[in-house]
Chains A and B, each alone.
Chain A
Amino acid sequence: MNTLSKKGIAGILPLVAALLIAGAGASEAAIQGVTGTVFTLTAKSGYIDTPDGNSIYMWGLTDGAGRMQYPAPTLILAEGQPVTVNLTNRLKVPTSLVFPGQGNVSATGGVPGLIAMEAIPGATVTYTFTPSEPGTYTYYSGTQSDLQVEMGLFGAIVVRPDGYEAANPATWRAYAHADSSYDHEYLFLLSEIDPVIHEQAERGNLAGVDTTKFWPVYWLINGRAAPDTMADNFILWLPSQPYNCMPQAHPGEEVLMRMVGGGRDMHPYHTHGNHHEVIARNGRLLGSTALSGADNAEGAFTSTVFPGQTLDALYSWTGEGLGWDVYGHTDPTASGQIGALCTAALADGEDVSAHCKPVPVVLPDQQSLSFGFWYSGSPYLGSSVALPPGEGGLNPNSGYFFMFHSHNEKEITNNDVFPGGMLTMMDIEPPGVPLMNP
């Protein structure tokens, strides 16, 4: 049996669970963005905040009026539906947008540039295209891109396949094949910032910018550096960085990671807890034929995301191989072995081989431990033990937290201060707990 069909079977039970949970009213899509077929985007300047207290001058896009945002709005499109993007330029330099992977983009109202049709300051250019293939894509400035992408003019595009219905989890797939079915989807749009370039732009000294000296010191996911990646979407104190990256799932559920290289460096994106399976690259399923699904999917625990590239990967976590029953279905009579007296039913997605096995060590006394923010006090999912005052506290439902981060460890800092940067946590919540970020 190949890994995907194994996953396919493993995915069936959790899907049922997801349906049950969806019935409880928690079925909102987790990838934030703008939907529709006509988008009115304005390029303008603004500021973002970094967790170390810095405020950085940016150029970004906004959908309609309001502040520019970083990254640009995620465009959530439907396969086959023609799209119009009106780009109005409120920057002092010409700008444009390119949509790599979208065939037959045409532009009206602009003037030609080196790479794309541009809007001069104060003017509007209109791009039209029809997204013919579902998948994950990117768009960004095609005008002096070495400067303008750095300044913030890039975003992600999600093209929903035919048959996708937001309210019907049975239709959730990234591509027109069941190999891309998922229970939850999250965006990982990776970028960097070299604040020197931004300071020069803020002073109006564009002639002084030397992009060959690019030396980033901030690394971001969806426009935020850790720990802001884990704060809510649309929080008031990050008004120009609306998107978080707080992946959550229950054991056994399939998580679709839509990874996008938004900046100009490569990032080795790394998952803890389990490997992931890359099913698509640059908006195309890794299949041997158009109809064969993801039969060329590649397992990885680190995927290098190149600038401008998109990768779709599936991730799930069941506790398999951990060696103890993460649900705490322990044999009440001692011994720690699977025994006749352990009558607990298997949980959805549970690893049979660990059923009823207690954690195989005696936990040290609390006075001998130091605690992380996400420690519940218990090795079991959904149970907690009182911790000393001030310890733990970021894990109210006693889930398991696994770091998802750039494996270029330099990139999990904020201007040389660890931890931060291109880092977030994958939160495996106990079965039945509604997800805040579904």
Chain B
Amino acid sequence: MSRILRERMRGIVPLAAVLMLCMSASAGATEFWLRAETTSQSMPDGRVVPMWGFALDADHNFTTFDGAVTIPGPALAIPPGEDLIVHLFNRNVPEGISLIIPGQAAPTDGIDPEPQVTRNQDGQGRWRATSFAHETPMGFQKDYVWSTIRAGTYLYQSGTHPAVQVQMGLYGAVVQDEAAGDAYGDPAAHYDQDLILLYGEIDPALHDAVAGGRYGVGRAVTSTIGYDPKYFLVNGLAYSPGRSSLPIGSGGKTLLRLLNAGLETHLPVLGGGPSLTLISEDGNLLPYPRLSPQVELPAGKTADAILDIDALAAGYYPLYDRKLALSNDKAPGGGMLVHLAVSSGPIATLTVAKNGTGSGTVVAGSAPGGISCGADCSEGLLAGTTVVLKGLPAPGSFLANWTGGGCSGMGDCVTTVNGSQTVTATFTRYTVVRVVTPNTTEHINEKSFYPIRWGAPVTARRFTVQYSTNGGLTWTTIAAGVEGTSLLWEVPQVSRTFTNCRVRVIGYTDRKVRVGSDISDRAFWIVNIP
């Protein structure tokens, strides 16, 4: 017998055992009431994207519309041994929808013993399959009945027009354990706590086209061939500085249930050293666990990995996508990043306050995030966590100073949160362009990195930054079109020390109209280092 065939045979025996268990332990069906609705979701950059989502209808009737619509849909946990019935109500999604669970049998409607693929005739009278299961039109309620369920981690999703409907948000996780605390009936699958990590993407142009009636045959967007995702979600959220860490326990074993409802491949990597123990793919227990820091998660894939928390120090462990979907549209520091918190020990609260004549936002620029102030101005953190706070002045404002937490000055605030503490950022309003640094007789070494800073009125949005080594007779441009209020200058190599140097900053509006300019008040040196 070939080696590979032998392996396959090994897989079959446990499978047969699982099937027998399911049949013998048919304790009944777990019922969920899911309501599908149109909704919308705000991206970290403020863009509002039309979505379709599911809500868990808590009172089990579809007249009061209780329960919040979420993307992904609510996680459906089926107790061990039970089957599944979902009562689906399509409140206002403007086309027929349905439910399937790839990896499980096709659902029936609870009336007809056979599952039904929905077919419709196209304009030329040809029959086309449009749905993997019976459809629920807008305003209707139908049942989706699974009379056997295999234990494991699965996606549920719309089985109708899935290229669009799943993308629009009609997806979620459905899990069943073989036994309590044992995902697959195997010692390798024993766990103490679990965490669902459901990956998805958003192509906002597609969502706008669908919501705006511009998607479909004969319309502006005819298919998903031009799929071009700009937002990358874990559990429905793209990373932004306000995102808090996800707890994964303080001891024992944690089961990470990884699912990809997007259309592209993603590769979650656990940073900070530890390897994951991959125990299953697509709801199938692997014959041998695999140790790896990263998990291959192509579209539609599910995988389960065990993390031994006892082997980890308390702290925050980044889980990031090695496919590098790590931006929110073009803004860096976003996308498929979450911080997993191994928490034992005291929690301290870091609070951010703002004062001064100007305004701005303070965000956490380091793991584990949790502050975007803005509105989210405090976070409980494991005592001892070092946090980098970044002050982002609004147009017309300048980050003048930090106080508290041992921070001061105009750069980032790096503070270690040993006990609860408050850090205050002072933003100052400017009505004219003013060079802030270098503005005195300081000595700056050649080939060093020096932050040039300036304040400017609200109309000035883009800046040209120049320096002079001869007191302003001639100017060399360092950068043009700079946004913000600072620029890190790589000071040039010089053949001798120049003692009459100045910096000039010229501000322009977005439409390139000159607002004003300023030159360093005093001459600084660029020091030649022999």
Chain A interface residues toward B at CB < 8 A: 2-3, 92-93, 98-105, 111-116, 120-122, 129, 142, 144-147, 149-150, 204-205, 207-212, 264, 266, 281-282, 284, 287-289, 295-296, 306-309
Contact = CB atoms under 8 A, between A and B. Distances in A.
10 contacts: A100-B271, A111-B388, A114-B318, A142-B271, A211-B332, A264-B323, A264-B324, A296-B288, A306-B294, A309-B294
Interface in B276-335: 287-288, 290-294, 296, 318, 320, 322-327, 329-330, 332-333, 335
Given A112-B366, A114-B365, A309-B296, A144 B333 contact: yes
Contact of A281 (B228, B272, B292, B483): B292
A9 B228 CA distance: 51
B290 A284 contact: yes
B260 to A, nearest CB: 13
A212 B386 contact: no
A102 B273 contact: yes
Contact of A284 (B269, B287, B291, B326): B291
Nearest to B276: A282
Listed from nearest, the 9 A-B pairs whose CB atoms lie closest are A308-B322, A210-B330, A112-B366, A121-B449, A100-B293, A282-B292, A146-B324, A122-B449, A264-B324
Contacts of B265: 266, 306
A410 to B, nearest CB: 17
Nearest to B332: A144
Nearest to A45: B490
A113 B7 CA distance: 44
A179 to B, nearest CB: 13
A314 B257 CA distance: 33
Contact of A145 (B288, B326, B387): B326
Contacts of B273: 99, 102-105, 129
A421 to B, nearest CB: 20
A205 B483 CA distance: 10
Nearest to B330: A210
B271 A98 contact: yes
Nearest to B241: A114
B367 A113 contact: yes
A308 B367 contact: no
Nearest to B6: A2
A306 B296 contact: yes
Nearest to A296: B288
Which one of A101, A115, A289 has the greatest number of beta carbons of chain B within 10 Å? A115
Interface in B230-244: 230, 239
Interface string B470-502: 000000000101010000101000000000000
Contact of B367 (A112, A122, A129): A112
A113 B274 contact: no
- Which of B323, B325, B332, B337 is packed against the most chain A CB atoms within 10 Å? B332
B410 to A, nearest CB: 14
B267 interface: yes
A113 B365 contact: yes
Contacts, number: 134
Given A105-B272, A210-B329, A307-B324, A115 B288 contact: no
Nearest to A209: B330
B3 A116 contact: no
Nearest to B479: A204
B422 interface: no
B326 A146 contact: yes
Among B326, B330, B388, B488, residue most surrounded by chain A Cβ atoms (within 10 Å):
B326
Contacts of A99: 273
B275 interface: yes
Contacts of B200: none
A1 to B, nearest CB: 10
B448 interface: yes
Contacts of B318: 114-116
B128 to A, nearest CB: 31
A129 B272 CA distance: 11
B324 A211 contact: yes
Contact of B481 (A98, A100, A120, A205): A205
Given A3-B3, A210-B330, A284-B291, 15 more contacts: A100-B271, A113-B388, A115-B320, A115-B367, A129-B273, A145-B324, A205-B481, A208-B330, A210-B327, A211-B326, A212-B327, A281-B290, A295-B3, A307-B267, A307-B324
Contacts of B239: 114
B449 A282 contact: no
A122 B292 CA distance: 34
Nearest to A99: B273
Given A103-B273, A212-B329, A282-B292, A307 B323 contact: yes
Contacts of B270: 100
Contacts of B333: 114, 144
Nearest to B483: A207
B74 interface: no
Contact of B332 (A105, A147, A295): A147
A92 B482 CA distance: 14
Contacts of A147: 332
Contact of A212 (B228, B337, B479): B228
Query: Residue among B3, B335, B369 with the most chain A CB within 10 A?
Result: B3
A360 to B, nearest CB: 30
B229 interface: yes
Given A105-B272, A211-B330, A111 B324 contact: no
Contacts of A129: 273
B195 interface: no
B241 to A, nearest CB: 9
Interface string B338-374: 0000000000000000000000000001110100000
Contacts of A100: 269-271, 293-294
Contacts of B7: 296
Contact of A115 (B3, B329, B337): B337
B462 to A, nearest CB: 10
Nearest to A137: B293
B490 A92 contact: yes
Contacts of A287: 288
Given A104-B273, A282-B292, A306-B296, A92 B449 contact: yes
Given A266-B265, A282-B291, A284-B291, A115 B365 contact: no
Nearest to A206: B332
Given A122-B449, A282-B293, A144 B326 contact: yes
Contacts of A150: 324
B366 A308 contact: no
Nearest to B272: A105
B383 interface: no
A291 to B, nearest CB: 13
Given A122-B449, A146-B327, A211-B330, A288 B287 contact: yes
B414 interface: yes
Nearest to A287: B288
A288 B10 CA distance: 12
Nearest to B7: A296
B332 A212 contact: no
B407 to A, nearest CB: 12
Contacts of A122: 448-449
Nearest to A266: B265
Interface string B1-42: 001000100000000000000000000000000000000000
Contacts of B291: 282, 284
Contacts of A144: 326, 332-333
Most buried by B among A122, A129, A289: A122
Interface in B126-159: none
A99 B275 CA distance: 11
A284 B320 CA distance: 21
Nearest to A207: B483
A211 B490 contact: no
